[in-house]
Structure 1
Amino acid sequence: MEHPMAMPSPFPSGSWTPEGSQGSVDTASGSMKWAKPLDWVVAKPTIKQLYIDEKKTLKQVMAIMEIQHNFYATPKMYKSKFKQWNISKSFKPREVLAVLQAAEDRQAAGKASRIVVRGKEVDLDWVKDYIKRKRAKSARVVFGEHFRALNMDIDKMDKVICRTPSPSPQPSLKPPAALSQTEELLHTVSLYINGAFSGGQWFVDRKGCCRSRKGRRGNFFFLDLWDRLDMASNLMDKSEPVDLVNILNPAFVYLNDIIREEDPRSFPFLLGCFEVLRHRGRTDLMGSFLRYTAQLAARILGPEHPHSRIWKHTLAVFLSSASDSNDGAALGHSDFLEQLYFLLLDRYKAQPKRAAELEIGVYNDYCESVLDLKDLETQESTIRRHLATIEADYPPQRASGSAGTLPSCELAFLRHRHATAVKNLCLSQGRFQEAEEAMDSLREHGDWDGALALQNRGDVRLEMGDFEAAEGYFRAASGLVDNHSLFRDEGWIGMVFEKLEEVLERRGQTEEAREVRRVRAERVERLGRERVESETAGRLAEGEGNWMTETRGRLPLLLLRGDDGSG
């Protein structure tokens, strides 16, 4: 339900509020925190506009950044960044001479001149005044003769570009500093998060959940939306007949609420969904949903709303990456995503009141999008360290695995992710017993986690060629898949059924394998028939029920022979 104080983001698109800046003053200790690499990325457009476009001195820029943005850096740091960014107010004498020579050559050819050096247009009157002041006319002649003697292309010297002037452009409110799409995205995300918190649109409630004042109904659709994308992407190459349109249609419906409410988790979650589709080579499916999301945000919130601009830049970045399939581009895209997720986590953690469920959830999204592509040892060690930090920062207040305790559920997902990383690492090293035991600790957290632990043992036995034991574990896991309906993961459930079907086929139990296939197909078909009913969805948003429980499937008895993994 929408909060009566709901409102659009209360900050202008070009502002940058100081909340969350890592270059801020530590009020507890009274010491300054110098700008970190990520802070420079976010502040770059503001600094360039002040220094280049508004022609302020370095001292003035530093004062503005400190007072208005809590951004602290030394003159040496600024100059180092200016060199790295290739921005400068002055030109080298050689560049000045090259500019004047180019202008004279084009004037002799009867061409109007618009000359650009290092991305900045040059005022020819200023160049002439400079020559007079420096009394460098003789030097100009000497250099000019030198250029002609070498028969060099003046347009390419010292990054001097000569163009015929275009018609005067229409006035624009966009920042004049040219930024890449990735820089624009990082900058806009930082503006958006800081503005949403400082303006009161996002707040942390008494349960420690970070919410939007526009409502939270869309938040409850996250998992089912991913279920549908996951299942559709996995079924697109299958020979079995499936109704992909009906499976995916509700996902488009969910996006309306998700975009309208601007939940703090929505962008990192959807970003992770689209990136996983990209990993799987489903750029067609990713592109369709990403375009729709960007168009939907512009229609609901307005094209200049920060959230709309975030999706506009995200679409451009993803499509650019999808069109360039070489390894270097893929590495660059992964590095950028890692930077983006670290920025999200950095800004969320910097708020006066932190939200465990949001931070853990975003870290899980980071793992799906970026960390899962790294080597197994890096995955295991990274998640282990982060899990230890989270557990130290947020000691559990309720029993883990409680369906109504979001932080505990997010923490359970992170524990499962670490256990999976341990299992995969042990399997790769042939340490089968350790791999088999890797996820047993999850069983104490409830039926859902217990099913994951059983599935893990089945995976290990399948890898070892022990099909009888694998069958028992997969049967036991199948019997628990619907016990935790609020967090039903149809993609995972389908995988368990598929593996059970595989071991049954290997053991010659053809009829039972066919029955498992039928059950799996029924679940897919039922998912395609489900529709989002506004009334039941509204009750779900208020915590009164779960519309998914009405369509829970019943497994045939042959899948439930034993509850301890026995056949």
Structure 2
Amino acid sequence: MNMSTNAYREDQWDVLRPHITRLYFDESRPLRDVVQTIRDKYGFDATPRMYKYRLQKWGLDKKFKEKEVAQMVLLKQQRDAAGKKTKFLIQGKTIDWDLVERYLHRRPDLQTRIRAGMIAMGDTIPGLVCRSPSPDRVRHASPVLQHSDEMLRLLKGYYESTFGLDTASRRSSVSASTDLAISIRCFRQLDQARIMITSENMKVGFGFLNKSLDDLRHLVRMQDPTLLFYLFDVALAFDPSHRELARAVLRHTHDIVIVTLGHSHPLVRLLRRLSHLQGEDRYDVIVTILEGVVGTFKQFGSNDRVLKRLNCHYFLLLDYLGLYGKRANPSFPEMDANSIDDVGVAYLARFVDRLISNEDPEEAELKLAMVLTWVQAPVNLQHPSWPELQLSYYRLRLHTHLARGQWDESSRWFEKLLAHSGKYSLTC
């Protein structure tokens, strides 16, 4: 049964926000189509007027505003005079200049005022970004590859000395599982920080983020084989939706590694280099390095469990960056319900979360059943990671029912989530 349109809460809108954004802003669907699609798919019966209010609040109104157009025209005139090419983005979406010209054609009064100098450059408009378009890959790949090649050489030396084949003790360190429960907690909280902050729930989001960064310090001291992947995960958690926050988190991560490992450590130098790269260049370096790290551990003859962890993290990072299928096309490693360990379950839970967000409910249910098998097994009930993974299962069940618009079931799983988090003193 559909709920009264007056009953929709902020958190219910937040759950559907990614789907509404994709349909309305990314796919440029008419509002009436968006309203109908969301109603049919999720039983969410809000009115078009409510949608308009939310879209404006989220900064997703597709219609140009006079101030935006005037600012873009003036900026483009300045840059044209300096011989610079110009690209504009609003809320992260590239603006087709033909659409701006059509707007001006409909508004000759605005054109006249701009030409007469009656409109001056205003203050920065939130969500409006002006920059030079990225050169094509043939022209800009060389300096990026220089960064990548140099860092891969440094990292290979680090991995050989720390996890290489020269001593049995170092080989055993590759498969060590010390304090992995902390890594599971760290990135469950990072995922929740990302969700909350993306939904503009800043207070709760920063609470999760601070707890996650506290755990990151411990992971740096552990120097697990997947540490570099975790550092990338933290550094990219809020890029590109909150670029200033992403830069601040990258700097903070850099400082954590310096304090623990010292200024000359290869991971410190890598993070410092990344802080000077932006956009596609940063992503290219990261993906190239991740591929190189996976290849290095294959050369070491690392056990299957470690390689599976590396490949899981590699897949999830590519998917988050939107590069899966473009930059590379790995598959999420196959998991065996009878032999999966706690870290594998944690990665599987993150994969299920992506499947739900990407609207693949059938595959999500299959993978979620494997998570349930692990948390219900009596042998795992005393495992240090069990409380965190049981919490993840409840959260994914809640997410599943919310995505389907099943509000009664959502409430039931939310109560379970709260009860479990209270019993084990976990933040949810």
TM-score, normalising length from structure 1? 0.39
TM-aligned CA deviation for residue 339 of structure 1:
1.3
8 Å CA contact retained: 1:447, 1:484? no
Structure 1 residue 185 corresponds to structure 2 residue 86: no
The change in CA–CA distance for 1:289 and 1:448 in structure 2 (over 3 A counts) is farther
CA contact (8 A) 1:209 1:356 kept: no
Q: What is the match of residue 306 of structure 2?
A: 358
Corresponding letter in the other structure for 2:289: L
2:197 aligned with 1:232, yes or no? no
**Rounded Cα–Cα distance in structure 1 between residues aligned with 2:270 and 2:398:** 39
5 Å matches for 1:119-268? 181-198=147-164, 200=167, 203-205=170-172, 210-211=175-176, 216-217=178-179, 219-238=180-199, 242-268=203-229
Which of residues 274, 291, 296 is equivalent to 1:317?
Answer: 274
Q: Following the alignment from structure 2 to structure 1, what is the Cα–Cα distance between the partners of residues 354 and 169?
A: 33
Structure 1 pair 202–371 and aligned structure 2 pair: CA distance change class (3 A): farther
Residue identity opposite 1:278 in structure 2 = D
Among 479, 485, 496, which residue is 2:386 paired with?
Answer: 485
Query: Residues of 2 paired with 1:513 and 1:443: CA distance?
Result: 16
Deviation at residue 193 of structure 1 after TM alignment: 0.8
Residue 314 of structure 2 corresponds to residue 400 of structure 1:
no
Say whether the 8 Å CA contact 2:238–2:246 is kept in structure 1.
yes
2:315 is aligned to 367
Residues 380/424 of structure 1: CA separation in 2 closer, same or farther (3 Å cut): farther
Q: Provide the secondary structure at the position in 1 that maps to 2:398.
A: helix
Measure, in 2, the Cα distance between the counterparts of 1:415 and 1:229: 14
Against the structure 1 CA distance between its residues 210 and 437, is the aligned structure 2 distance closer, same or farther, given a 3 Å change threshold? same
Secondary structure at the residue paired with 1:204?
helix
Instruction: Please state how far the C-alpha of 1:180 moved relative to its aligned partner.
Output: 5.0
Name the CA distance, whole Å, in 2 between partners of 1:501 and 1:444.
Answer: 18
Deviations 1:43-91 (A, max 9, x none): xxxxxxxxxxxxxxxxxxxxxxxxxxxxxxxxxxxxxxxxxxxxxxxxx
Report the Cα distance in structure 2 between the residues aligned to 1:419 and 1:238, rounded to whole angstroms. Answer: 16
| Paired position in structure 2 for 1:447 | 372
1: CA distance between counterparts of 2:237 and 2:202? Answer: 24
Indicate whether 1:551 and 2:421 are aligned. no
Tell me the SS of whatever aligns to 2:178: coil
* One of 256, 270, 287 as aligned partner of 1:296: 256
Offset at residue 291 of structure 1 (A): 1.8
Over 3 Å counting, the alpha-carbon distance change for 1:402 and 1:185 in structure 2 is closer
Equivalent residues in 2 for 1:407-446 (5 A)? 409=344, 413=347, 417=351, 437-438=362-363, 441-442=366-367, 445=370
Q: Which amino acid aligns with 2:318?
A: V
**Any idea what the Cα deviations from partners look like across 1:444-478, whole Å, max 9, x if unmatched?**
74515799xxxxxxxxxxxxxxxxxxxxxxxxxxx
Q: State the shift of 1:195 in Å.
A: 1.9
Residue in 2 aligned with 1:341? 290
SS in 2 for 1:383: coil
Mapped partners of 2:169, 2:286: distance in 1? 24
User: Which amino acid is the alignment partner of residue 214 of structure 2?
Assistant: V
Q: When the two structures are aligned, how many residues end up with a matched partner?
A: 279
Bigger radius of gyration among the two: 1
SS in 1 for 2:224: coil
Q: Who is 2:233 aligned against?
A: 272
**Partners in 1 of 2:215 and 2:397 — Cα distance?**
26
Deviation at 1:248, TM superposition (A): 3.2
Structure 2 CA distance, aligned partners of 1:184 and 1:339?
11
Deviation at 1:296, TM superposition (A): 2.6
| RMSD of aligned Cα (Å) | 4.9
Q: Equivalent residues in 2 for 1:9-158 (5 A)?
A: none
- Distance 1:551-1:253 versus aligned 2 partners, 3 A rule: same
TM-score (norm 2): 0.50
- Following superposition, the deviation at residue 336 of structure 1 comes to 2.5
Aligned partners of 1:446 and 1:417: how far apart in 2? 11
Contact 1:277 / 1:286 at 8 angstroms: preserved in 2?
yes
